[in-house]
Amino acid sequence: MTARRAATHFTRSLSQASAASPALPGYLGAAQSQSRRLATVPPPVTQNAAGAKGPTAMVFLNMGGPSTTDEVGDFLSRLFADGDLIPLGRLQSYLGPLISKRRTPKIKQQYADIGGGSPIRKWSEYQNEEMCKILDEISPETAPHKPYVAFRYADPLTDEMYTRLLDDGFGRGKGGRAVAFTQYPQYSCSTTGSSLNELWKWRQRLEGKSAADRTNGDGDGDGTIAWSVIDRWPVHSGLVEAFARNIEKTLAEYPEERRNEAVLLFSAHSLPMSVVNRGDPYPAEVAATVYAVMQRLNFSNPYRLCWQSQVGPSAWLGPQTSDTVEGYIHKGQKDLVLIPIAFTSDHIETLFELDQEVIPDSGHPETVKRVESLNGNPLFIRALADMAKAHLGSGISCSPQMELRCPGCKSERCAESKKFFKGQQSALASA
């Protein structure tokens, strides 16, 4: 696919989503108005109408992506500096910059080929803003809900988000409640775990006991933000429904007599086998999502789960998506439906790797199709709001599953951050 076709595809996927969402005509406006609002002086935190528990900060966690090709170098250098994602030990500060620098031109070209940057910031800001509007209606006792985004490797980074929270009137002796809402449906220590470790790090730096005491001066370190975490949601019924409807939409493009024989290929970002063998929960949770979606579809079609985007020479979890497509084509199975199942908005893995490599390389671009990403899907955004409401009313700071470390975990960061988020249980009670 040429760069021009890719750019058209990129704009088309945005406008397709606009058509799917009645709220979307204001999509760009919504995202821009949030950036504008965040860039200027924020409105002060005020009590909600009922004088109850709000305001509540809703913080979306994700990896982020470069919004322009000029940001690719910084994005990759942060990514390769992250020991929770790519553990290089004492060589991290030496090898990280070296690998990222070598990789930058190739990845820059891929972002150029999908239209000049990752759409993840626009989608994340839009999804959160829309979710907060719904939450204000369905959870008035915790309103107003204020949207924030914290990316691990791109702007807005975690420290920027945290500073904004403090400037908006949370913490600094006034307390307040914030929910860290991972946007990875399935938990991996290399993704959600890394974002939470980073959040914990900045919480210690900006609001640790001594920092809090410096701001409120009473010596007991209270008045800090009470944090809770939505740490995974692999089988949430709204997520499953949104995926299932998108799959049905793609299946409807096949002639009726072939429709039930098309093979559904669920594709998730792979993990190095070292991470799998450490006991990472992600493979099992991805499989849980796949099974729940198939249950919802009444097992209408044959299916497999495969794994994409491995990086570097070490062993990764397979089978690889590209090999799987090739293998089925070789066996004469040409009707294949690719379903990105571990990421909720478009990114280079969908727009470049699947659309511009796997599908054209299959030799059958008319019968190998990709299901659209959730992006601005109103069903999906409603599901996010339902999850958030249930969490806000639950009084729990994180799931019991998050409290457990991997059997092979040797990271002090994991130990400390898990202790912190579990310990927020008591802070929540008084928030």
Ligand X SMILES: C=CC1=C(C)c2cc3[nH]c(cc4nc(cc5[nH]c(cc1n2)c(C)c5CCC(=O)O)C(CCC(=O)O)=C4C)c(C)c3C=C
Q: Restricting to residues 188-217, name those near ligand FES by CB under 6 A.
A: 189, 193
Q: Restricting to residues 398-427, name those near ligand FES by CB under 6 A.
A: 405-406, 409, 411, 414
Count, residues in the chain? 431
Residue 354 near ligand X by CB under 6 A: no
CA atoms within 13 A on the CB side of 218: 9
* Alpha-carbon torsion, ordered 351, 356, 358, 364, to 10 deg: 120
Q: Restricting to residues 277-316, name those near ligand FES by CB under 6 A.
A: 278
Residue 120 near ligand X by CB under 6 A: yes
- Would you say 48 or 277 has its CB closer to ligand FES? 277
86 contact choice in ligand X, ligand FES, none (CB below 5 to 8 Å, kind-dependent): ligand X
Among 134, 275, 276, 338, binds ligand X (CB under 6 A): 275
Question: End-to-end distance of the chain based on CA atoms, in angstroms?
Answer: 53
CB of 193 to ligand FES, least distance (A): 6
242 contact choice in ligand X, ligand FES, none (CB below 5 to 8 Å, kind-dependent): none
CB of 191 to ligand X, least distance (A): 5
- Would you say 26 or 83 has its CB closer to ligand FES? 83
CB of 63 to ligand X, least distance (A): 6
CB of 189 to ligand FES, least distance (A): 3
188 contact choice in ligand X, ligand FES, none (CB below 5 to 8 Å, kind-dependent): ligand X
State the catalytic residue, choosing from 9, 236, 269, 347. 236
- Would you say 210 or 314 has its CB closer to ligand X? 314
Q: Restricting to residues 173-212, name those near ligand X by CB under 6 A.
A: 184, 188, 190-191
384 contact choice in ligand X, ligand FES, none (CB below 5 to 8 Å, kind-dependent): none
State the catalytic residue, choosing from 113, 231, 335, 386. 386
Residue 269 near ligand X by CB under 6 A: yes
Among 199, 339, 348, 414, binds ligand X (CB under 6 A): 348
CB of 232 to ligand X, least distance (A): 11
Q: Which residue has the tokens 């994409």?
A: 308
CB of 91 to ligand FES, least distance (A): 19
Per the annotation, the verdict on 347 as an active-site residue is no
- Would you say 108 or 177 has its CB closer to ligand X? 108
Residue 377 near ligand X by CB under 6 A: no
How far, in Å, CA of 194 to CA of 183, rounded? 13
Per the annotation, the verdict on 391 as an active-site residue is no
CA distances from 158 to 137, 390, 407 (A): 28, 25, 28
Residue 79 near ligand X by CB under 6 A: yes
CB of 208 to ligand FES, least distance (A): 21
Residue 368 near ligand X by CB under 6 A: no
Catalytic annotation, residues:
236, 386
Contact footprint for ligand X (CB under 6 A) = 63, 65, 79, 85-86, 103, 107, 118, 120, 184, 188, 190-191, 269, 271-272, 275, 282, 311, 342-343, 347-349
Contact footprint for ligand FES (CB under 6 A) = 189, 193, 278, 405-406, 409, 411, 414
